[in-house]
């Protein structure tokens, strides 16, 4: 989308306009499938020699994509460079968490603006945000894209109509023998039962990727059923400002994600025991923060560049094969 820098959130809320539609910002990137945006690590990566005590959605997704990447992040504890998209998602999640905890009549756009201002210092002082070293214009743009994600909730639903059972619900449960832990953005109560709702600030997936993205919330549904004793009826992803992706929580759906999780856990524990973590190469190597420490990933990026099948704005390009000055994507 073509956007412009919005007015500064540090100005009085009544003076803030989020309706600008400038053309100075880059269009939304059509990235290859990546780990679900907004999925947070429950336990920070800690250097270890064995498997984790519990498996979170983010850890499982990383291992499924590339065991070697999982090792570098969760065992070697290599630093994962901060990114604006992830932090903007964190900001949106924080504001919406507080909004949906408010009394029903207070869940308005104007109150969301107030909450955005109140939450901003927490993001602004976060070490990952500081590390981005944004100038004033870039910082204003960051706040603008964060606000567009927050405001995008009203594209999907009226928050005043939602009956909220819990927000940021921590779930600890075993799923098919696998110790699982996750944080559910929102647990709603509808006429026919519970609904797992999870916010996404990234781009909604193409149809062929929908099933993989829904696995996360279906795992949450399985964990909630085991932990709380009530199985949710539906699990949904709210792609803010875009569309809702939803699945019925059926026996077949839960069995499929449980089997997949158990296979991931078995492979992970086996790799930890053997010390062998294979690199799965492909287009996502272009977006791997550890590509500079991975011979296979470096070779993959270079090969794709030679074939013309790697986007020149992929972060890994600047690491393994910087684009010559003056050359564009």
Give 126-195 as a DSSP string.
Answer: SHHHHHH---HHHHHHHHHHHHHHHHTHHHH--GGG--EEEEEEEEEEEETTEEEEEEEEEEEEETTEEE
Tokens read off for 105: 């009549």
In 3-state terms, what secondary structure has residue 28? coil
- Percent of the chain having pLDDT more than 70? 83
Residue 98: pLDDT over 90: yes
What are the structure tokens assigned to 238, written together?
């709210």
Q: Mapped to the 3 state alphabet, what secondary structure does 29-77 carry? A: CCCCCCCCCCCCCCCCCCCCCCCCCCECHHHHHHHHHCHHHHHHHHHCC
> What pLDDT is attached to residue 134?
92
The tokens describing 2, both together, are 């073509």
The predicted model gives 105-128 an average pLDDT of 95
168: left (phi over 0), alpha (psi -120 to 50) or beta: left
* pLDDT score recorded for residue 20: 34
SS3 231: coil
d(CA 303, CA 300): 5
> Do 196 and 224 touch, CB atoms closer than 8 A?
yes
Confidence bin at 101 (pLDDT 50/70/90) = very high
pTM here is 0.81
Average pLDDT over every residue of 209-222: 93
Mean pLDDT, range 75-103, rounded to an integer: 91
Q: Write down the pLDDT at residue 320.
A: 83
Distance (Å, rounded) from C-alpha 32 to C-alpha 137?
28
Is residue 204 predicted with pLDDT exceeding 50?
yes
What is the distance between the alpha carbons of residues 209 and 259, in angstroms, rounded to a whole number?
19
User: How confident is the model over 235-246, as a mean pLDDT?
Assistant: 96
pLDDT on residue 276: 95
Does pLDDT of 24 surpass 50? no
pLDDT class of 49 with cuts at 50, 70, 90? low
Mean pLDDT of all residues in 262-269: 96
- For each of the domains in the chain, give its residue range(s) and CATH number, in order of start: 161-272 (3.90.320.10), 283-320 (no CATH)
Quote the tokens at residue 64.
């499924």
Query: What pLDDT shows up at residue 2?
Result: 25
DSSP classification of residue 226? H
């Amino acid at each position: 989308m073509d956007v412009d820098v919005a007015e500064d959130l540090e100005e009085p809320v009544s003076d803030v306009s989020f309706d600008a539609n400038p053309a100075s910002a880059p269009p939304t990137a059509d990235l290859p499938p990546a780990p679900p945006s907004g999925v947070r690590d429950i336990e920070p990566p800690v250097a270890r020699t064995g498997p984790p005590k519990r498996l979170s959605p983010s850890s499982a997704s990383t291992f499924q994509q590339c065991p070697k990447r999982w090792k570098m992040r969760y065992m070697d504890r290599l630093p994962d460079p901060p990114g604006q998209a992830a932090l903007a998602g964190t900001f949106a999640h924080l504001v919406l968490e507080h909004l949906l905890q408010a009394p029903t009549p207070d869940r308005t756009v104007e109150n969301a603006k107030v909450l955005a201002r109140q939450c901003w210092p927490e993001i602004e002082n976060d070490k990952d945000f500081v590390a981005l070293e944004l100038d004033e214009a870039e910082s204003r743009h960051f706040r603008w894209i964060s606000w567009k994600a927050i405001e995008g909730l009203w594209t999907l639903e009226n928050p005043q109509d939602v009956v909220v059972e819990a927000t940021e619900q921590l779930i600890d449960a075993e799923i098919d023998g696998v110790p699982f832990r996750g944080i559910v953005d929102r647990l709603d109560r509808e006429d026919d039962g519970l609904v797992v709702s999870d916010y996404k600030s990234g781009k909604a997936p193409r149809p062929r990727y929908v099933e993989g993205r829904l696995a996360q919330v279906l795992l949450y549904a399985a964990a909630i059923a085991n932990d709380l004793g009530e199985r949710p009826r539906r699990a949904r992803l709210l792609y803010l400002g875009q569309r809702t992706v939803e699945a019925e929580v059926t026996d077949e759906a839960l069995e499929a994600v449980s089997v997949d999780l158990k296979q991931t856990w078995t492979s992970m524990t086996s790799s930890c025991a053997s010390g062998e973590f294979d690199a799965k190469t492909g287009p996502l190597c272009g977006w791997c923060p550890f590509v500079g420490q991975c011979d296979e990933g470096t070779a993959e990026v270079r090969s794709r560049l030679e074939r013309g099948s790697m986007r020149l704005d992929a972060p890994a390009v600047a690491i393994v094969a910087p684009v010559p000055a003056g050359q564009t994507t």
